[in-house]
Amino acid sequence: MNREQFEVMVDRVLETLPQWVIDTVDNLHVLVEDWPSRDQDPDGEGLLGLYEGVSLHDRGNEYFASLPDVITIFRLPHIRLGLDDEALAAEVRKTVLHEVAHHLGIDDDRLHELGWD
């Protein structure tokens, strides 16, 4: 799958976010990169996605005029999973939702309750 096709897959997930999530997201940028950098994945664990920023839950009154938080979805680690197109789309959805949940300040237990894991 080429980068453009993968980006469309990520965009489709973002387009299907529930309205309450869209209304809540603040100061967030979503990127697709081929691989994580050494800084992003120092142990070489093969990250599928990464949230970098200050979650909405952790923002205080001093949070203003800040650069956007960033979610990066990594294409080639997903491709290396060797999944068919349907399973790959499901894995990308899971990754995007997981990282958006970090932005919202949703922990893994709540993520499971919402069916986003």
Looking at 1-115, list the stretches that DSSP marks H as alpha helix, in order from N- to C-terminal side: 3-15, 19-24, 75-79, 85-104, 108-114
Inform me whether the pLDDT recorded for 60 exceeds 80: no
Q: Has this prediction a pTM greater than 0.85?
A: yes
Tell me if 96 sits within 8 A of 13, measured CB to CB.
yes
Tell me the pLDDT tens digit for each residue of 1-47.
999 999 999 999 999 999 998 998 888 999 999 999 999 999 988 89
DSSP 45: -
More confident residue, 58 or 80: 80
Structure tokens at 51: 């949230």
pLDDT at 14: 96
- pLDDT confidence tier of residue 56, bands split at 50, 70 and 90: confident
d(CA 49, CA 75): 9
Whether domain 3-56+67-114 has CATH 3.40.1710.10: the reply is no
Tell me if 52 sits within 8 A of 72, measured CB to CB.
yes
